[in-house]
Amino acid sequence: MTPEPDEPDVAAILARLAEQGVRLDRADAEALRPRLASLLRRLARLAAELPEDAPPQPGGGERFPR
Amino acid sequence: MSGIEYLGAGELARRYRDRSLSPVEVTRALLDRIGGLDPVLGAFVHVAAVRALDDARHSEAAIAAGRPRGPLEGVPVALKDLLDASDMPTAAGSRVIGRLPARDAAVVARLRAAGAVLLGKVGLHELAFGVTGVNPHFPPCRNPWDRERVPGGSSSGSAVALAAGLAPLAIGTDTGGSIRIPSSACGVVGLKPTFGAVGRSGLVPLAWSLDHVGPMARSVADAALLFDAIAGHDRDDPWSAAHAHEPAGRTLGAGVRGLRLGVLDASAAGAAAGVDDEVGAAVEAALGVLIGLGARTVPVAVPPLEPIYTATFALIASEAGGYHRRRLADRPSDFGEDVRRNLAIGLCLPAADVVAARRAQGVATGALLRSFDDVDAVVLPTLPRTALRRDDPVSREPREAWNRLVVPFNLAGLPALSLPAGFDRAGLPIGLQVAGRPFDEATVLRVAAAYEGATDWHTRRPPLQA
C-alpha cells in the first residue's frame, strides 16, 4: 500500500513559492491545488513502483552512444 | 491562387533548376498569401518580408550562377518563434521573453547555410508549455480545416502555415508532442527526431532534458529533406549527438516489404482506451495499407502510459519552473493564467519526486527500447481524437489527455513522426504516428513514405480563400 502524500493546502503552496521569491495570488494557489495534489499522488505511486535500484536517466552527453 | 502556394520543397528545387520558377517569384507569392490569409489564421507573429526578398534574390543569383549553397536554396521556411534568428525578435509566444538575438540558433545557421529563405517567425502556445496553441498574448491562431477548432500546439503557427499554403517548410519543437500534435490536428507531416540529433543552441528552452527541434512539411519527402539539412552536431548544445549525421532521406523509396511493424498488444488496452472510434478505424485502415505493401505487424507491449505521462509532466514543469523562476517572481501577471499555474506546480514539487520522475524516465526508456527488439518501427495514433473546439477544455487526466500517445517518445528520446491518415466525419484530419529506434529516422521516414505513396490524404487542402 503506497502511503498517500499529505494534501498541500493553499497556505503551504503560497509559502513554498514565497521561499523561492514567487508571490502568487490566493486564487492561483486555490486553482492549482487540486492538480498539484493529483500529481503528488501519482508521483508517490510511481516512486513506489520503481525498482529500488533503478537509477535516474543519464543527463549529459549522448543518451544513445554509438 | 497562383498555384505556387502548395508546391513542396523538392518540387520548388526542381522548378528552380529548370528555370520555370524563381525564388523571388515564390517568396513574393507566399508573402502575398500571408498578407491575404494570415490576418484571419494568425500563424505568423513576425513576417520578415524585406530580408526574405533579399535572401531570395541572393538564392536566385546563386542558382543562376550554377552554385546553389545547398538543398534548400531559395526554399522558403517558417521558423517557430522559440528559436533565435539574428535579424528577428524572439518572444517565445510570451510577454516575458523579448530579445533581439545577435546570433542565429544552430538550426537557423544550418538553414541559412543550406540556402533557405526565412519568411519569418510563426506563433506557438505560450512558452511552448501547452498543447492547444491557444495563446492569451496573441491574436487567435486558427485551424485552417475549421477555424473554430484549435490548431494544436505548441508548434501551432508552423502547422497552420503549412496547411494553409503559407510556407512549404517549417521548423517546430517538441517537448511533449509539440510537433506531432499540431501536425496531426492540421493534416501535415511532423518529425520529432531522436534526442540529440538536431542541435538546440539558440532555443528558448521549455525543458532541456526533453526538448527536441524538428522538421515539419506537407510531405514525408520534404520532411526528410529538411531533417537532413538541420541535423548534425551542435557544439553549443551539451546534449547534442557527437557522431556525424547519416542522411535519412536516402532510403525513402525502399518500401516496407519485409519490415516488422509493432502494433499495441492487448496489454496496451489502456493506451487504446479513449481513442475515438474514427481515429481507431483510420489507424486500422492504415495498417491494412502497410500490410498490403508487404509489411508484417507484430504485437508489442508498451510500458503503462500513466506513469510515463506523470513523469514527463513533472520533468517539464520542474525544468520550466526553474528556467522561468526569476521572471515568475518579478512579473507574474505577464504570464498567462494557465502557464503561470503550471510553472508554479513545477516549483512546488519536492526534489525527491523529481528524482523519481527521472528514474522513471530511465525505466520507461529501457522498456520502450525493448519493445523495438522484434520490430523495425511502431505504428499507433498520434492523437486519441481530432482537433478540439476552441472552447473544449483539454483534459488534464493522463488517461484522457491529448498528448498521452506522443509523450512516451519524448521521455525516451526516440524518433517519432505524424502524417495524415484520413479525416473524421467533421472533415478534420487524423494523424498516424510512426516511431523508431534511436537515430533510425531513416526507417521511420521510409514507413511513412510508403504509406503516403499509397494514399492521397496529404494532397487534400483546407477550404481557404486568399
Are residues B231 and B272 both part of a single domain? no
**Domain assignment present for B464:** no
- Give the pLDDT of residue B332: 97
Domain endpoint, select from B251, B284, B315: B251
Are residues B398 and B295 both part of a single domain? yes
Mutate to test the interface with A, among B212, B330, B348 (most CBs of A within 10 A): B348
- Cβ contacts of B311 on chain A, cutoff 8 Å: 46
What pTM does this model have? 0.97
CB B353 within 8 Å of CB B375: no
Question: Do the Cβ atoms of A23 and B344 come within 8 Å?
Answer: no
ipTM surpasses 0.95: no
Q: Does the CB of A46 have a partner CB in chain B at under 8 Å? A: yes
Are residues B37 and B183 both part of a single domain? yes
Are residues B196 and B282 both part of a single domain? no
User: DSSP assignment, residue A61?
Assistant: S
Are residues B300 and B173 both part of a single domain? no
Helix and strand numbers, DSSP H then E, in chain B = 14, 11
Active site residue B192: no
Active site residue B158: no
**Domain assignment present for B149:** yes
CB B458 within 8 Å of CB B293: no
Are residues B224 and B268 both part of a single domain? no
pLDDT above 90 coverage of chain B, percent? 91
Give the pLDDT band of residue B87 (cuts 50, 70, 90).
confident
Measured CA to CA in angstroms, residue B335 lies from B118, B148, B223, B400 at distances of 28, 24, 33, 26
Nearest to B250 by CA among B120, B432, B440, B115: B440
B407, pLDDT greater than 80:
yes
Give the pLDDT band of residue B65 (cuts 50, 70, 90).
very high
B196, pLDDT greater than 80:
yes
Are residues B298 and B192 both part of a single domain? no
Nearest CB to A43 within list B242, B353, B365: B353
Q: How many other CB atoms are found less than 10 A from the CB of residue B281? A: 14
Give the pLDDT band of residue A60 (cuts 50, 70, 90).
low
Q: Is the dihedral of CA B157, B159, B164, B170 positive or negative?
A: positive
**Domain assignment present for B404:** yes
Give the pLDDT band of residue B298 (cuts 50, 70, 90).
very high
Are residues B275 and B246 both part of a single domain? no
Question: Do the Cβ atoms of B344 and A56 come within 8 Å?
Answer: no
Are residues B231 and B321 both part of a single domain? no
pLDDT single digits (tens) A24-52: 999 999 999 999 999 999 999 999 999 99
- Cβ contacts of B315 on chain A, cutoff 8 Å: none
Domain endpoint, select from B251, B272, B304: B251
Which CATH number fits the domain that encloses residue B174? 3.90.1300.10
Measured CA to CA in angstroms, residue B265 lies from B261, B299, B378, B407 at distances of 12, 5, 11, 18
**Domain assignment present for B466:** no
Cα separation, B103 vs B51, in Å, equals 16
Rounded to the nearest angstrom, the gap between the alpha carbon of residue B83 and the centroid of all alpha carbons in its chain is 14
Q: What is the distance in angstroms between the Cα of A22 and the nearest Cα belonging to chain B?
A: 4
Are residues B282 and B173 both part of a single domain? no
- Give the pLDDT of residue B243: 87
Are residues B228 and B308 both part of a single domain? no
Are residues B363 and B339 both part of a single domain? yes
Give the pLDDT band of residue B187 (cuts 50, 70, 90).
very high
**Strand arrangement of the beta sheet that strand B189-192 belongs to:** B44-47, B117-122, B76-80, B169-173, B213-217, B189-192, B416-423, B429-435, B377-381, B260-264, B296-300
Nearest to B177 by CA among B206, B141, B134: B206
Nearest to B108 by CA among B100, B96, B117, B99: B117
Domain endpoint, select from B251, B268, B302: B251
Q: In chain B, how many domains are there?
A: 2
Give the pLDDT band of residue A54 (cuts 50, 70, 90).
very high
Q: Which domain holds residue B246?
A: 4-251
